[in-house]
Structure 1
Amino acid sequence: MRADDLPVTAAAADPSPPPGPVVTGRYDQGPGYGVNRPGGSDSWLFTFTLGGCGLLRQGGARARVGAGDLVVLAPGTAHRYTVAPGVGRWRFWWTHCRARPSWTPWLAPYAVSDGLYAVPAVPGALYERIDAAFGRMLADARQDARGPAGSAPSAPDPVAVAHGGPARELALCALEEVVLLAAGARTAPAAPGRTPRPAPDTDARVRRAEELIAADPGAAHTVRSLAESVALSPSRFAHLFTLCTGRSPMRALREARLRHAARLLEVTDLTVERVAAASGFISPFHFSRVFRERYGVPPGTYRAGERR
């Protein structure tokens, strides 16, 4: 795939970038610009607004974004994004890629719906660092496209693709910096109409339950067993955990198991069935289905993409 092959405005039949490469661009668009993917995308989409205003929709949820806002769309759900109505321009960075499993907990408190994460405007100092990180991603991807014998174009394309090797890893490291700066070190505000969410570190019992899940995601954890480990009733524990983290205990456990499974696929040669069992999934068929929902590809395809 080349940057030249990517559509500016996607129609229903236009494919999204595949999840393997890291595709990065910087756009300055006016009224009428829009991307519509009724079938969703095979890859994650990260957008960081530099100026103007955009409107992003994932399923029935929407996010109106301005300067300093980071919005992330997960794969597999219908989405569209446009210059916001009544606004002259939308200047933004965007990246399509396969998200690293470790990013999910940082984004989870900012979930607007399943698959749409909206992190509100970052402070000025972080804005500059995030802008610079995206700039490094674009520069590294351009270098990857030229290759050792290539020459820089006279007018650099606003889109570049890092296919693999050092360029792809450098791009993912820069994007990890973006996610960590914007979301990982902040406390999510409450959504309109909801009770403000305490910071995740306000209750030691919730922290202890999260540590137990992280230490052994494949163990036979239940709401009751986790509640007993922190001396709470199951109902009180489930309420407190959800209030502090924005996720139910079982959803947090499933996310931890999927991250663990992704890591095993990346670094071991275990069969998909054994990865499923080691990660706490009783049925390999159920595992394959939920893994694809989260990462956009089946486990075997994910492993093959990580080892290219």
Structure 2
Amino acid sequence: MPVRADELPETAVPSPPAGQMIIGRFDQPPPYAITRPRGSDSWLFTWTTGGAGLLRQGAAEATAASGDLVVLGPGVPQHYRVRPGAGNWAFWWAHCQARPSWAAWLRPYETADLLYAVPRAPGGIRERVDAAFRRMLADARWTGEGAPPARAAPESVPDGEVAVAHGTAARELALCSLEEVVLLAAARAEPRRTGTDPRIRRAEDLIAADPGAPHTVASLAERVSLSPSRFAHLFTEQLGHSPMRALLHARLLHAARLLEATELPVERVAAASGFGSPFHFSRVFRQRYGVPPGAYRNGLRDGG
């Protein structure tokens, strides 16, 4: 049976006020532990950089190792500590009120009782998240005059460093950095087509992320560690169209968005969307949308 946080014997620690934004970095040995029998008034975000932690909230439990983001929502009994057997727990933490828009990103990772355990992030994302926390710490100390303090170097943030974002601008800047952390760590939970090979989903992501890039069947296959023939066969079998057809559709959608949102000339829209020839672009755009690019843009202006 899971141990409930409010049944644990450690001395209770009060939570920060709901409206405050507090950021810190700890590197704690055993027996470091925090217990809040009535939960916290604010959200707690933890990002582990070394050692291991154990976090419990209500009946939910999560371990945290390097590269793990664990979030505890407010109002539920909570307890967290150095994981038994670990020599330490090094982690960034932030107490604040979460922005409502973050709920959709965190929801796929909820285990129970408002405990969200986001699985280990790959190396490149870890570097970005670490940098975001260091920027958060610096921005929390901004007075609103001059430039915000420089972000600290990774090796220069001591254990026990804590900052409270007192000013509105400092708090909003710190929240923006925390939002970056949530997006970087949790973006892998975007809705996916069930039953699709993860390598094919990865190729879809590569196309959608940069449709104007010079993708080919061979280059996409290499990125997902498949032979070109096997990749093309799997892609077509699982999605119902070829990789190059998917690329064309993505490029045309990208072009339509540029026509809707910018004043770029049609030739530049074509180039930015991966089309080497403006004439070819106009022809396939008309086939897809029923009108040439210029008429498509003019129709939007006219309310058509």
Give the TM-score normalised by structure 1. 0.54
- SS of residue in 2 equivalent to 1:107: helix
- Counterpart amino acid of residue 186 in structure 1: R
Bigger mean CA offset, 162-171 vs 55-64: 162-171
Residue 200 of structure 1: aligned partner: 191
Deviation at 1:160, TM superposition (A): 0.5
C-alpha change, 1:19 and 1:102, in structure 2 (3 Å) is: same
Structure 2: gaps of 5 or more residues: 1-9, 150-156, 195-304
Q: How does 1:277-296 map to 2 (within 5 A)?
A: none
Identity, % of aligned positions: 62
Q: How does 1:1-308 map to 2 (within 5 A)?
A: 11-12=11-12, 14-144=13-143, 158-183=161-186, 185-187=187-189, 200-202=191-193
- SS of residue in 2 equivalent to 1:139: helix
- Counterpart amino acid of residue 92 in structure 2: W
Instruction: Give distance in 2, aligned partners of 1:109 and 1:132.
Output: 25
Deviation at 1:147, TM superposition (A): 7.9
User: How many corresponding residue pairs?
Assistant: 176
Instruction: Give distance in 2, aligned partners of 1:121 and 1:15.
Output: 29
Instruction: Give distance in 1, aligned partners of 2:141 and 2:169.
Output: 12
Instruction: Give distance in 1, aligned partners of 2:88 and 2:29.
Output: 4
Q: Say whether the 8 Å CA contact 1:25–1:95 is kept in structure 2.
A: yes
Instruction: Give distance in 1, aligned partners of 2:35 and 2:192.
Output: 39
Deviation at 1:11, TM superposition (A): 3.3
Instruction: Give distance in 1, aligned partners of 2:132 and 2:14.
Output: 27
C-alpha change, 1:147 and 1:90, in structure 2 (3 Å) is: farther
- Counterpart amino acid of residue 119 in structure 1: V
- Counterpart amino acid of residue 124 in structure 1: G
Deviation at 1:18, TM superposition (A): 1.2
Q: Say whether the 8 Å CA contact 2:59–2:113 is kept in structure 1.
A: no
Structure 1: gaps of 5 or more residues: 1-9, 188-198, 204-308
Alpha-carbon displacement from aligned partner over 1:105-154 (angstroms, at most 9, x marks no partner): 0000001102000001101000000000000111112334x988xx9xxx
Instruction: Give distance in 2, aligned partners of 1:18 and 1:163.
Output: 12
- SS of residue in 2 equivalent to 1:143: coil
Q: Which structure's CA Rg is the greater one?
A: 2
C-alpha change, 1:147 and 1:76, in structure 2 (3 Å) is: farther
Q: Say whether the 8 Å CA contact 1:48–1:70 is kept in structure 2.
A: yes
Instruction: Give distance in 1, aligned partners of 2:125 and 2:184.
Output: 7
Instruction: Give distance in 1, aligned partners of 2:94 and 2:83.
Output: 20
Deviation at 1:99, TM superposition (A): 0.1
Instruction: Give distance in 2, aligned partners of 1:11 and 1:97.
Output: 23
Alpha-carbon displacement from aligned partner over 1:26-83 (angstroms, at most 9, x marks no partner): 0000011010000100000000000100000000110011000000000000001000
Alpha-carbon displacement from aligned partner over 1:130-181 (angstroms, at most 9, x marks no partner): 000000111112334x988xx9xxx986011002321000000000000000
Instruction: Give distance in 1, aligned partners of 2:113 and 2:58.
Output: 9
Instruction: Give distance in 1, aligned partners of 2:124 and 2:28.
Output: 25
Deviation at 1:201, TM superposition (A): 4.1
Instruction: Give distance in 1, aligned partners of 2:74 and 2:166.
Output: 19
C-alpha change, 1:43 and 1:147, in structure 2 (3 Å) is: farther
Q: Say whether the 8 Å CA contact 1:43–1:75 is kept in structure 2.
A: yes
Q: Say whether the 8 Å CA contact 2:69–2:120 is kept in structure 1.
A: yes
